[in-house]
Chains A and B, each alone.
Chain A
């Protein structure tokens, strides 16, 4: 299987789901750790490509899974690149679903990763949520 290719369109907005465990209810915003890799070991942040609508990205993340999300937020490919984070089109490879893309934090050391998270968080909050589940959506139990 060939290595995933970097996404070239700098203006593409990738869909990032914010988990309940990294949601700050008081500020009603995600925490910035939500804009980094799920584990330090893997070093990859999971997203769906911009061609998927934010609502559809939310549906795919939560429907039929044990995963919860407070909504879909945006990560611009060019912004990530400027912080040293490549965005890779890895949909359908390994265990990834179709339309999957990974933001690759692996080249960064721990401080660099934290800085990238903080900057991506600031930009995502300026942009605002791309999709927020309706009030009718079931609340996560945990």
Chain B
């Protein structure tokens, strides 16, 4: 390691203690880069090249190693609440593929500013690599997560291998030195069975984990800092920090960002919780999961129905009725599917207490009256042929959706 904080990890043996074994690392060059990493079976044995869909495995592996290193660093520095500069220092690069692209070669180019990062972080990364290898080996053989593995990194551990097929596996081992040629013993083999065990372990430990999730709208995104603002559905705002190497999550967050601060889907994001007084969630660290729970279109439909539900009797003149509760309730049941429909559906109320859906389908004008008495009336009128079709009966959500999606009334 040079004095300016730049260096390439040799990946050597002996990094079995964080922060104190840098001098013990062998000088000889590694044959396998940072880690021996080999993908086998299924898609990996077919044809040439790495299946594009498998690239996420490399990313998830890097994310896991970083997280374990971060937690190791925090354990070694109990006086510190957060790590500075470690993320920038972890510059794990994919430099080559061997053996038909099933063996990616990583190099760790450690970059750090000694004024920011307290000491050389490289031993923590090497230690993290070994902990990951040992953990997967132990889970595969004994079905338990070894004590050496930090529990707070279970979410990241659970994620690796999630794209593996039933007959596929990832073998991990310490890298060989430049002079070693025989294949390493790879007890650390990640298979779908190991994934299943990890899932069970994670569920068991979930209650005690700092892992948490929150639902709301993403209103600001700072790509440089890797942070975003989440306006919670309960009315508060929290700041969320993306996990290292979480490019897919970062892209997903950008996709759901409310450009106008309002119009965006509701998402649930998961990460490590920082809680304030009373256990209230104040911040999420290392966010590595994001899922849309309600699309912007569905929210707009629900908002429209709420507004229509506030109409008062007489809203459209003497004798007109407010939308009935059954009509509103049934229309709400339609909202998630209507939001996905290709046909854009206008939603209104009539003076009889019904919720009315209208849409155009080619030359046809279609409508669905969701009535206050729990019935419905579906109607399609072809403005070219002047033919019409109708259906009247009890409310049937599936039938309404089928009508919207296909224009068919008679099935």
Residues of A whose CB lies within 8 Å of any CB of B are: 19, 21-24, 26-27, 31-34, 36-42, 46, 66-68, 95, 110-111, 114-115, 118-119, 121-122, 142
Partner of B311, one of A36, A38, A142: A142
CA distance A121 to B367 in the complex (A): 13
Q: Shortest 10 CB-CB distances between A and B: which pairs?
A: A24-B346, A38-B351, A22-B348, A21-B349, A142-B310, A118-B365, A39-B351, A31-B348, A19-B316, A33-B356
**A24-B348, A32-B358 are contacts. A111–B390 as well, Cβ < 8 Å?**
yes
CA distance A142 to B316 in the complex (A): 11
| Contact B352 A66, beta carbon cutoff 8 Å | no
Given A27-B344, A33-B367, A34-B348: 17 more A-B contacts, CB < 8 Å: A19-B315, A21-B316, A21-B349, A22-B316, A22-B350, A31-B346, A39-B319, A39-B320, A39-B321, A41-B319, A67-B317, A111-B379, A114-B381, A121-B365, A122-B383, A142-B312, A142-B315
Smallest CB gap from A46: residue in B:
B317
| Contact B358 A115, beta carbon cutoff 8 Å | no
Smallest CB gap from B312: residue in A:
A142
- B114 close to chain A: CB less than 8 A: no
| Contact B346 A26, beta carbon cutoff 8 Å | yes
CA distance A118 to B382 in the complex (A): 10
| Contact B316 A38, beta carbon cutoff 8 Å | yes
Measured CB to CB, the closest approach of chain A to B33, in angstroms, equals 54
Residues of B within 8 A of A115 (CB): 381, 386, 388
CA distance A46 to B379 in the complex (A): 23
| Chain B 240-256 interface 0/1 with A at a Cβ cutoff of 8 Å (1 = within) | 00000000000000000
Smallest CB gap from A112: residue in B:
B388
CA distance A21 to B304 in the complex (A): 9
Smallest CB gap from B389: residue in A:
A111
Measured CB to CB, the closest approach of chain A to B311, in angstroms, equals 6
Smallest CB gap from B360: residue in A:
A27
| Contact B379 A114, beta carbon cutoff 8 Å | yes
Residues of B within 8 A of A114 (CB): 367, 379, 381, 388
| Chain B 297-338 interface 0/1 with A at a Cβ cutoff of 8 Å (1 = within) | 000000000011011101111111100000000000000000
Q: What are 30 A-B residue pairs whose CB atoms fall within 8 Å in the complex?
A: A21-B315, A21-B316, A21-B349, A22-B316, A22-B349, A22-B350, A22-B356, A23-B348, A24-B358, A26-B346, A27-B344, A33-B367, A36-B350, A38-B320, A39-B319, A39-B320, A41-B319, A46-B317, A66-B314, A68-B315, A95-B318, A110-B377, A111-B379, A111-B388, A114-B367, A114-B381, A119-B383, A121-B365, A142-B307, A142-B311
B interface, size bucket = 20 to 34
User: Which of B310, B321, B346 has the most C-beta atoms of chain A within 10 angstroms of its own C-beta?
Assistant: B346
| Contact A32 B365, beta carbon cutoff 8 Å | yes
Measured CB to CB, the closest approach of chain A to B49, in angstroms, equals 45
Smallest CB gap from A24: residue in B:
B346
| Contact A33 B311, beta carbon cutoff 8 Å | no
| Contact B308 A21, beta carbon cutoff 8 Å | yes
Measured CB to CB, the closest approach of chain B to A41, in angstroms, equals 8
Partner of B383, one of A19, A22, A33, A118: A118
| Contact A38 B379, beta carbon cutoff 8 Å | no
| Contact A21 B311, beta carbon cutoff 8 Å | yes
CA distance A95 to B317 in the complex (A): 12
Smallest CB gap from B300: residue in A:
A26
CA distance A40 to B352 in the complex (A): 7
Measured CB to CB, the closest approach of chain B to A123, in angstroms, equals 11
Smallest CB gap from A39: residue in B:
B351
Measured CB to CB, the closest approach of chain A to B320, in angstroms, equals 5
Residues of B within 8 A of A122 (CB): 383
CA distance A59 to B315 in the complex (A): 17
Measured CB to CB, the closest approach of chain A to B353, in angstroms, equals 9
Measured CB to CB, the closest approach of chain B to A93, in angstroms, equals 14
| Contact A31 B358, beta carbon cutoff 8 Å | yes
CA distance A114 to B377 in the complex (A): 11
* In the complex, chain B residues 341-381 whose Cβ is within 8 Å of any chain A Cβ: 344, 346, 348-352, 356, 358, 365, 367, 377, 379, 381
Measured CB to CB, the closest approach of chain B to A13, in angstroms, equals 20
